[in-house]
Amino acid sequence: MTNPTAAMLVVGDEILSGRTRDSNMHFLAGELTKHGVDLAEVRIVADRADAIVAAVRDLHDTYDHVFTSGGIGPTHDDITADCIAQALGRSIDVRDDARALLQAHYDGQGKELNAARLRMARIPEGATLIDNPVSVAPGFTLENVHVMAGVPSVFQAMVASVLPRITGGAPLLSQSLRIERGEGDIAGPLSDLAAQYPDLQMGSYPYVQNGAFGVNVVIRGTDAGRINTALTTLSDLFAGPA
């Protein structure tokens, strides 16, 4: 069986403007790899309803799971929840269980659950809440779309809440070999090796150190034995002097 597939949709003008560096993609990729879910695509869209709706519909129809980050806070530009509802044809309103979570949280802080904060309790019809142990305001899952906050600590906590609900496949394993030759020197033999192991992914990542060119070759797959055999073959191919 092949692993389930996933896509990530990052929402936010601040990412596209370069003001904020996104770390959520790196975290999600690592967690999905361990869980046996193949992250196949990542998109970044602006805080525009038409862009978010179009991306959600496309990714929802293409992949087994879609993870979104950003745009579910209390301000006017937090429109992700509304866009998810529109994309999947659901109504959206303040939900009692989400409101109760926020009410208890802000009562405990001696703060008012005002209209802005109440926006975070607006959940599309039929969605399941995603627990948020960091700041309480929940995310939600609707069909195969998991909608989470953009703040990294909250995003990570929500991912931890969601993954146990998802059936994964075989974790993706990897090994690497450092070869002190340029990519042009290894390209032919590496291509032949990749053809011999179509079940493995082989990537070459060049570097320059002290003026000398080299390559880190990474071999990925779900079968540790196959990876080891391919890596040994690769090592033998370039065991001699350049």
pLDDT in tens, 172-191: 899 999 999 999 999 999 99
Is 242 domain-assigned? no
Two tokens at 224? 């540790």
Q: Where are the beta strands (DSSP E) in the chain?
A: 5-11, 38-45, 65-69, 92-94, 122-124, 128-130, 139-142, 145-148, 173-179, 201-209, 212-221
Residues 22 and 59 in one domain: yes
Q: State the average pLDDT over residues 163-179.
A: 93
- Output the pTM of the full model: 0.88
Q: How many domains are there within the chain? A: 2
Report how far Cα 228 is from the mean position of its chain's Cα atoms: 28
Residue closest to 119 by CA, chosen among 80, 159, 67, 150: 80
Domain that holds residue 222: 173-237
Q: Of the candidates 135, 165, 195, which is a domain's last residue?
A: 165
Residues 220 and 181 in one domain: yes
Q: Of the candidates 109, 143, 165, which is a domain's last residue?
A: 165
What average pLDDT does the structure give for the chain? 95
Residues 46 and 118 in one domain: yes
Is 137 domain-assigned? yes
Residues 154 and 177 in one domain: no
Two tokens at 6? 């996933």
Per-residue pLDDT tens digits for 114-145: 999 999 999 999 999 999 999 999 999 999 99
Q: Confidence class of residue 239 from pLDDT cuts 50, 70 and 90?
A: confident
The conformation of residue 110, written as its DSSP 8-state character, comes to T
Q: What number of other Cβ atoms are within 10 A of residue 206's Cβ? A: 13
Residues 154 and 178 in one domain: no
